[in-house]
Structure 1
Amino acid sequence: MRRQHSSLPATPSRTDIKTTKVIIDAAEAFDIIVHDHVSIGWDGRQTARG
């Protein structure tokens, strides 16, 4: 997954984190694995994996 907000920093918000968890849970029902969530912002990028 990725999120791009060129006017915001790449650091994920609490809403981004909650939404990611909801999507991961929903994807599991279809045997889809979410490997990472990359946020792209004006200050670069950040990955949920570290």
Structure 2
Amino acid sequence: MKHYQVVGFEEDGPVFGFTVMANNFGEALTAIGKDYYMTDMNFYKLETTEVEK
């Protein structure tokens, strides 16, 4: 499993962040899209980066 750091930004900077564990980037995106907290979030930009544990 790989770890992916997810950071949501508004125009002024980061507003939230969390880590997702997945086998690959595609699975990470699927998990992020299904995350309960993401359903009502409004943000300007979302960055997803693979990180070393």
TM-score by length of 2: 0.32
Q: Whose helix proportion is higher, 1 or 2?
A: 1
**Higher share in strand:** 2
* TM-score where L is the length of structure 1: 0.33
